Amino acid sequence: MSSDDTYLNLVNGGFTGKVAKQFGLPQPAPLRRFAPGQPLLDGPVLVLGDDELADLLATDWALDVHRRPTPDLRYSAVVLGLTDLIHPSALSAPVMELAGVLKKLARGGRVVTVSRAASPEDAPSVAAARQGVDGFVRSIAKELRGGATANGLVLAADVPVTAPSVVGALRFFLSTRSAFVDGQLLAIDSSAGSLPSDWERPLEGRVAVVTGAARGIGESIAETLARDGAVVVAVDVPAAGEQLVAVANRVRGTALQLDVTAPDAGARLLEHTLQRHGRIDIVVHNAGITRDKLLANMTPEKWDAVLAVNIASQLAINEALLTSGDFTDAPRIVSLASTSGIAGNRGQANYAASKGGVIGMVRATAPLLAAFGGTANAVAPGFIETEMTARIPVVMRQVARRLNSLQQGGQPVDVAETVAFLASPAAGGIVGRVLRVCGQNLVGQ
């Protein structure tokens, strides 16, 4: 479904745009999305502080890399290598260099930091410096305009900047694939994973199952995984059969009509995928429902239905996958959480319990897959323009979609791009994490 964000269109119109500016109204900028063949960056990139990163960008990706800020140059991106930080005072020099070029950052520009995780074993000054990057990134993400974003990679102690997941995540954050990911710090836990031979087809040879694929975010995930080279099994309830077949045909995959809460859902999903495609590498748990009620008015039916679809089904299907012996070649589980599961949401106690559950589940499932080079991670969307959010009353909807740094709702494809990245071979070092796709929603961490 495309955006019905009339307000965004109005403030980007000539006359109406001027009026909105005069009255100090929010001025969301149209975001540029990925299309195959698009260059990684359109203009020069300033790389501060890390020679290895600068070499990677200049040599492997053939970008126009600058090591010193040139006044008046319009940079497409600034990468801050901060892995050597050992005292907060050392932040000053690179940060001031960044400050000097920010006003000239291109529309849709990118700021990406690469730093190390703070740990209780660090000396206090080291931990302070490292944790300081967190607050810094979240703040500049709130200051950037014109659809520009700021995100950070936070490397575990023994992970080099050349590790596949650092390289893959840096590329993701620099590209238009991450258009609606803003103000996020993504942990890179290990050097596991591998780089694709073709960055445009990182999922070539992989077979992916997507639940809830008949419409909305699931439909977009099916399309995006197929575009990236995967063979897709599209799963949805029998009632959505016609739409499901249309999606499966469009992505040249197969359709499986299945209620994910059925006791034999895991077995049927495995049987279909192995029989039709010979292997199973990626499972995206996207099927989800809402049954909103204040807890005082909650019925057991509404509570149980949400928990059954949104989390219990995922646990049962994962159990079937893990015990099958067929999910062992660097497998990937990507689950849909929600910012509601992080921050809580009035009227959504059941939904938030299920989505918080997803976050706990991936954290505990990831170690079970580690022996096969596998991962489990979650994506937490904020406000995304789908049939689910179209049901929100109009005034509330207008407010909800402005409550983030990009001042607009995301598109299903924004979630899909993030799922595709976490499902890719390069993301093998990202383990049990949650990546938010929320335009830096004001709620939650």
Tokens read off for 423: 């499902």
Return the number of the residue (87 or 346) whose C-beta is nearest ligand NAD.
346
Confirm or reject binding of residue 273 to ligand NAD (CB under 6 A): no
Confirm or reject binding of residue 183 to ligand NAD (CB under 6 A): no
Confirm or reject binding of residue 388 to ligand NAD (CB under 6 A): yes
Q: Is 75 annotated in the active site?
A: no
Confirm or reject binding of residue 413 to ligand NAD (CB under 6 A): no
Tokens read off for 150: 């700021």
- Is residue 161 classed as helix, strand or coil in its secondary structure? coil
The Cα–Cα gap between 400 and 244 comes to 29
Find the angle CA(217)-CA(220)-CA(223) to the nearest 5 degrees. 155
Q: Which amino acid is at 441?
A: N
Return the number of the residue (94 or 253) whose C-beta is nearest ligand NAD.
253
Confirm or reject binding of residue 309 to ligand NAD (CB under 6 A): yes
Residue from 108, 109, 193, 218 that binds ligand NAD (CB under 6 A)?
218
CA distances from 324 to 210, 266, 267, 268, 430 (A): 18, 10, 9, 12, 24
Ramachandran angles phi, psi of 200, nearest 5°: -85, -15
Confirm or reject binding of residue 411 to ligand NAD (CB under 6 A): no
Q: Are 221 and 286 in contact (CB under 8 A)?
A: yes
Strands (E), 129-206: 149-155, 185-188
Residue from 12, 125, 194, 261 that binds ligand NAD (CB under 6 A)?
261
Ramachandran angles phi, psi of 294, nearest 5°: -60, 145
Contacting range for ligand NAD; rule: CB under 6 A; set: 39-47, 61-69, 73-81, 376-384: 376-384
- Angle separating helix axes 313-324 and 265-277, nearest 10 degrees: 50
Return the number of the residue (338 or 375) whose C-beta is nearest ligand NAD.
338
Confirm or reject binding of residue 215 to ligand NAD (CB under 6 A): yes
Applying CB under 6 A, the site for ligand NAD has a residue count of 27
The Cα–Cα gap between 53 and 242 comes to 48
Confirm or reject binding of residue 286 to ligand NAD (CB under 6 A): yes
Confirm or reject binding of residue 383 to ligand NAD (CB under 6 A): yes
Residue from 129, 170, 240, 311 that binds ligand NAD (CB under 6 A)?
240
The Cα–Cα gap between 148 and 142 comes to 10
First to last CA, the chain: 28
Contacting range for ligand NAD; rule: CB under 6 A; set: 32-40, 282-290, 363-371, 427-435: 282-290
Residue from 323, 329, 387, 396 that binds ligand NAD (CB under 6 A)?
387
Exactly one of 173, 351, 383, 421 is catalytic; name it: 351
Residue from 338, 377, 405, 441 that binds ligand NAD (CB under 6 A)?
338
Confirm or reject binding of residue 217 to ligand NAD (CB under 6 A): yes
Q: Residue 175: CB partners within 8 Å, gap ≥ 6?
A: 34, 40
Ramachandran angles phi, psi of 254, nearest 5°: -125, 155
Confirm or reject binding of residue 342 to ligand NAD (CB under 6 A): no
The Cα–Cα gap between 401 and 410 comes to 8
Q: 321: exposed, middle or buried (C-beta count within 10 Å: 0-12, 13-18, 19+)?
A: buried
Confirm or reject binding of residue 389 to ligand NAD (CB under 6 A): yes
Contacting range for ligand NAD; rule: CB under 6 A; set: 93-101, 148-156, 325-333, 382-390: 382-390
Return the number of the residue (230 or 352) whose C-beta is nearest ligand NAD.
352
The rounded radius of gyration (Å) of the Cα atoms in the chain is 22
Confirm or reject binding of residue 211 to ligand NAD (CB under 6 A): yes
Contacting range for ligand NAD; rule: CB under 6 A; set: 83-91, 94-102, 283-291, 368-376: 283-291
Site residues for ligand NAD per CB under 6 A: 211-212, 214-218, 236-237, 240, 259-261, 286-289, 309, 336, 338, 381, 383-384, 386-389
